[in-house]
Amino acid sequence: MASRHIITLLSDFGTQDIYVAAMKGTIARVNPDLQLIDLTHQIPAQNIAAGRFCLLSAYPYFPVNTVHVAVVDPGVGSRRRAVAVQFPEGFVVAPDNGLISGILTLSPVLAAVELTNSNYWRVPDPSLTFHGRDIFAPVGAHLASGVPLADLGESINPASLVELPISQYQETTTGIEGYIQYIDRFGNLVTNIPAAAVENQQQWSLLVGRQSLSHGYTYADTQPGSIVALVGSHGWVEIAVNRGSARSLLRLNYGDPVQIAFR
């Protein structure tokens, strides 16, 4: 229990408005002693794929039994389910729209429920437009305070959780085909090709558009302004520019294809 009192928040609400604060106040009303940590609230509006990537990328670093409340929810008010899922490394409370699907590819589900028990909501009659405040935040706070998962609603089949149509990377006879799955603040381009896919290769280069990028190990390996492909800190093959933006230099965006060529 000692490590269970951390609750994280991820959303596309930004930090300009008080949407996030309303969630935090609601959590504090349930239990003022929980430790609140923001994952990010800068997910591009309603971009479930970006939310999925950020949630997937952050959760391994937190203590076991941390509760992650994730709200990127374009279908709020429609019939999409609200769920809580228990993984070995912690809990996720979120709309069932694919946000959780990144973690699903890496971790077994220990248990999953639909959030049907309104006793743990902020109010029995929640807002049609803000389930983050009225359902996800208070449910997460109760869960982080020791309420059993099974009390939050009816058990559901983990296989029924929504998957996103994010295509996997493909191995070919000469290398790997993948694509850009995330772009960070520095303009680093994160592909969907994991470190494991290249770590046994003596030599590889990354092809993007008409360019062939040799691979390096650190940003400092290269001259300022030059482009390098490397296994980034997220654990994926990334394209980076020492002291610059790969996004701007290569004019690439989410979903653009990349290829790795082995030698």
Q: Token pair of 68, please?
A: 């992650």
Stretch that binds a second copy, among 12-20, 111-119, 140-148, 159-167 (CB under 8 A): 12-20
CA distances from 186 to 70, 176, 241, 255 (A): 24, 25, 9, 18
- Chain centroid to CA 206: 25
Verify binding: residue 133, a second copy, rule CB under 8 A. yes
Q: What is the DSSP string of 52-110?
A: HHHHHHHGGGSPTTEEEEEE--TTTTSS--EEEEEETTEEEEEESSSTTHHHHTTS--S
Indicate which single residue of 130, 136, 179, 236 sits in contact with a second copy (rule: CB under 8 A).
130
Verify binding: residue 253, a second copy, rule CB under 8 A. no
Question: Smaller CB distance to a second copy: residue 113 or 241?
Answer: 241
Half-sphere exposure of 142 (CA within 13 A, CB side): 21
Question: Smaller CB distance to a second copy: residue 54 or 113?
Answer: 54
Min dist. Cβ of residue 107 to a second copy (A)? 16
Residue whose token pair is 């994952």: 39
Distance in angstroms (rounded) separating the CA atoms of residues 78 and 217: 46
Residues 165-184 vs a second copy: string with x where CB under 8 A? -------------------x
Verify binding: residue 38, a second copy, rule CB under 8 A. yes
Residues 78-117 vs a second copy: string with x where CB under 8 A? x---------------------------------------
Q: What residues contact residue 156 under an 8 Å CB cut-off, 6+ apart?
A: 81, 83, 112, 113, 114
Verify binding: residue 58, a second copy, rule CB under 8 A. yes
Indicate which single residue of 69, 70, 76, 258 sits in contact with a second copy (rule: CB under 8 A).
76
Size of residue set near a second copy by CB under 8 A:
62
Verify binding: residue 118, a second copy, rule CB under 8 A. no
Verify binding: residue 206, a second copy, rule CB under 8 A. no
Distance in angstroms (rounded) separating the CA atoms of residues 148 and 151: 6
Verify binding: residue 16, a second copy, rule CB under 8 A. yes
Question: Smaller CB distance to a second copy: residue 38 or 163?
Answer: 38
Verify binding: residue 155, a second copy, rule CB under 8 A. no
CA distances from 119 to 59, 95, 124, 126, 146 (A): 27, 18, 7, 12, 15
Residues within the interface to a second copy (CB under 8 A): 2-3, 5-6, 8, 13-19, 21-22, 24-26, 28-29, 32-33, 35-42, 45-46, 54, 57-63, 66, 74-78, 127-130, 133, 184-186, 217-221, 230, 232-233, 243
